[in-house]
Amino acid sequence: MLTLDNNCIVIFGASGDLTQRMLIPALFKLYMLKELPTSFAIIGVSRSDYSDQSFRDKLIKHIESDPDVDQAALDKFSKHLFYQAIDPAKVDQYAVLKERIESLETQLEIPSNTLFYLATPPSLYSVIPKNLAAHGMNKEDNGWKRLVIEKPFGYDLESAIELDKSLYKDFTEKQIYRIDHYLGKETVQNMLVLRFANSIFEPLWNAKYIDYIEVTGAEDLGIGTRGGYYDNSGAMRDMIQNHLLQVIAMVAMEPPAVINADSMRDEVVKVLQCLKPLTDHDLKHNLVLGQYTKSHVRGKCLSSYREEEGVPNDSRTETYVALKMFIKNWRWDGVPFYVRTAKRMPTRVTEVVIHFKKTPHPVFSANPPDNKLIIRIQPDEGTLLTFGLKKPGSGFNTEEVSMDFHYKNLKNTQLLTAYERLLLDVVKGDATLFSRSDAVHACWQFVQPILDYKKQSFDLYGYAAGTWGPIEAEALFEKDQTWRSPCKNLTDTDYCEL
């Protein structure tokens, strides 16, 4: 087993939501699993005023809300937490931070290995690295220095390129870990194993045998209190540019020669660079944008997007995107990929559906059964294969049956959450599941025409909160194709439009 280097984890944006809700609980879980090194310090950095103790109290209170928590272990873990108030935008204040890190390194016998996690507003993603470098904190003379950058990585293609340029002045690509938490999901990684460790799927995994592919990223929640952020982002930037294009890359990429950061990411970027550029025709006919409107679901009144906190009442930001797209390469030419994502759908479900072609000649019935492979990314993680069976009895009638695997049936297995897995990988120095700069650019390059199109007048369809989105999205499909309904539609008694 690899022994982990002792290190300091410095989290900028330590007073924020991500630190409290995701990062510290993930680090605690790794601690419980004995996946953290023997000596480590987690140093929270932000402008708010906390002592080490009040910072610990705030973060621990959040973890303690889990009734099964091991209180003694949590108390021990909390001793590894420290806090340093600085304004990360002010370069002179980094002297204090540097001194604090060095003093903890001496006290806890930690070599100069430091992971800087940027959980701040994106406007600081180029400022913090520059300020670290001004104090020599990027130098790897006595130990490694790694920089973890949260999404969004840029606002469009141009700003993503600018951000990279700025980072490369002081850090190398090898030091930069761009997080896309979808790549940390067990079920997303499993797509590679499903495809490349089993000889039964891969021979069929191409345009000759696959009719079309659906990728759905549906959420039942609205935008909550994130109106300020979301209204400048929209579903295109929030979900498609990063998470869902990464999922498509996993579905569509060629097998890497070996599993390591370079080989994997070379294949990812190759397929992303083959995404067929969207034409004016595609923007008009293969793209549907929508926004949720007010409705009543199961007796509860759901606000419209425009009524959400922080959203202008004439906002034209999309909370729904459906897109028909293609990959121009040998394997996928002509196979439509239908991608949809939205807030305020009837349920939360992320899944990939591979629709195999029908048999060439219908021997048993006019309408042969569907062969579908459904990769359930979340919730109820698993894989479902549907195929035809002879209906018992006389004649040769068919009916559709399935084979269904659920992760929850694996005994004695605990799935790491995305942040647990990704934090562990950064500490190990494994960048395989992090987005490389060229892949991020390829994703922006693909969505850029949509971002430009949204600057002009465009059709934005309303859909009642709690429904599967605008009816217009059905028109994207070719004959015999349609969205799979991952759960029953709400009935009239469940739901009424206001």
Catalytic residues: 243
What does residue 256 show for φ and ψ, rounded to 5 degrees? -75, 155
Find the helix or strand (DSSP H, E) in which 11 lies: strand 7-12
Tell me, residue by residue from 39 to 68, as one string, x for binding to ligand NDP by CB under 6 A and - for no binding.
-------xxx--------------------
Under 8 Å between Cβ of 335 and 326: yes
If binding means CB under 6 A, how many residues of this protein chain bind ligand NDP? 20
Supply 162's token pair.
Answer: 């600018």
Cite the beta strand spans of 102-187 per DSSP E: 114-118, 145-149, 176-178
Out of 7, 15, 175, 383, the only residue in the binding site for ligand NDP (CB under 6 A) is 15
Chain center to CA of 496: 32
Q: Which tokens go with 271?
A: 């397929």
Quote the least distance from Cβ 461 to ligand BG6, whole Å.
20
Grouping H, G, I as helix, E, B as strand and the rest as coil, residue 300 is strand
Residue 246: contacted member of ligand NDP, ligand BG6, none (CB under 5 to 8 Å, by partner type): none
Q: Whose Cβ is closer to ligand NDP: residue 88's or residue 486's?
A: 88
**Minimum gap (Å) between residue 42 Cβ and ligand NDP:** 14
Residue placing its CB nearer to ligand NDP in the complex, 182 or 463:
182
Q: Which is nearer to ligand BG6, 219 or 381 (CB)?
A: 219
Distance (Å, whole) CA 89 – CA 127: 6
Q: Are 304 and 426 in contact (CB under 8 A)?
A: no
> To 5 degrees, how large is the angle CA 267–CA 270–CA 272?
110
| 16 near ligand NDP, rule: CB under 6 A | yes
Nearest CA-CA partner of 173 in 256, 269, 89, 97: 269
**14 binds ligand NDP, rule: CB under 6 A:** yes
Nearer of residues 16 and 369 to ligand NDP, judged by Cβ? 16
318 lies in the site for ligand BG6, by CB under 6 A: no
Please choose, from the candidates 234, 490, 237, the residue with its C-alpha nearest in 3D space to the C-alpha of residue 345: 490
Which CB sits closer to ligand BG6, 132 or 450? 450
Q: How many residues sit close enough to ligand BG6 to count as binding (CB under 6 A)? A: 4
Cβ-based neighbour number of residue 273 at 10 Å: 16
Strand partners, 398: 390
Q: Does 92 bind ligand NDP (CB under 6 A)?
A: no
Question: Which residue, chain included where needed, has tokens 């991500």?
Answer: 18
If binding is defined by CB under 6 A, does position 150 make contact with ligand NDP? yes
* Residue choice 231, 238, 267, 420 for contact with ligand BG6 (CB under 6 A): 238
Residue 363 Cβ vs ligand NDP, minimum distance, rounded to whole Å: 51
- The answer to whether the CB of 270 falls within 8 A of the CB of 477 is no
Specify whether the CB–CB gap between 482 and 340 falls below 8 A: no
Task: Render the burial of 81-117: b for 16+ CB within 10 Å, e for the rest.
Answer: bbbbbbebeeeebbeebeebbeebbeeeebebbbbbb
Does residue 137 sit in helix, strand or coil? coil
- Binding ligand NDP (rule: CB under 6 A), the pick from 89, 95, 410, 471 is 89
User: Nearest distance from residue 242's CB to ligand BG6, in Å?
Assistant: 7
Nearer to ligand BG6, 129 or 217 (CB): 217
Query: Which 206-235 positions form the footprint of ligand BG6 (CB under 6 A)?
Result: 219
The entry of ligand NDP, ligand BG6, none near residue 238 (CB within 5 to 8 angstroms by kind) is ligand BG6
4 binds, among ligand NDP, ligand BG6, none (CB under 5 to 8 A by kind): none
Site membership for ligand NDP, residue 96 (CB under 6 A): no
Residue 180 Cβ, how far from ligand NDP at the closest point, in Å?
Answer: 9
Residue 350 CB, nearest distance to ligand BG6 (Å)? 6
Residue 310 interacts with ligand NDP (CB under 6 A)? no
- Whose Cβ is closer to ligand NDP: residue 125's or residue 320's? 125
Task: Give bridge partners of residue 127 from the DSSP assignment.
Answer: none
If the CB atoms of residues 22 and 426 are measured against ligand NDP, the closer one turns out to be: 22
Contact between 224 and ligand NDP per CB under 6 A: no
* Chain residue at closest Cβ approach to ligand BG6: 238
Answer yes or no: are the C-beta atoms of 379 and 349 closer than 8 Å: yes
CA quadruple 237, 477, 401, 372: dihedral sign: negative
Least distance in angstroms from the C-beta of 305 to ligand BG6: 13
Q: List the beta bridge partners of residue 117.
A: 11, 148
Q: Which of ligand BG6, ligand NDP, none lies near 14, with the C-beta cut-off 5 to 8 A by kind? A: ligand NDP
Note whether 122 binds ligand NDP by CB under 6 A.
yes
Would you tell me the crossing angle of helices 24-32 and 52-64 to the nearest 10 degrees? 70
Query: 137 vs 244, which CB is nearer to ligand BG6?
Result: 244
Interface with ligand BG6 in residues 336-355 (CB under 6 A):
350
389 Cβ contact list (under 8 Å, min separation 6): 369, 398, 399, 400, 401
Residue numbers of the site for ligand BG6 (CB under 6 A)?
A: 151, 219, 238, 350
Q: Residues interacting with ligand NDP, by CB under 6 A? A: 13-18, 22, 46-48, 87-89, 119-122, 124, 150-151
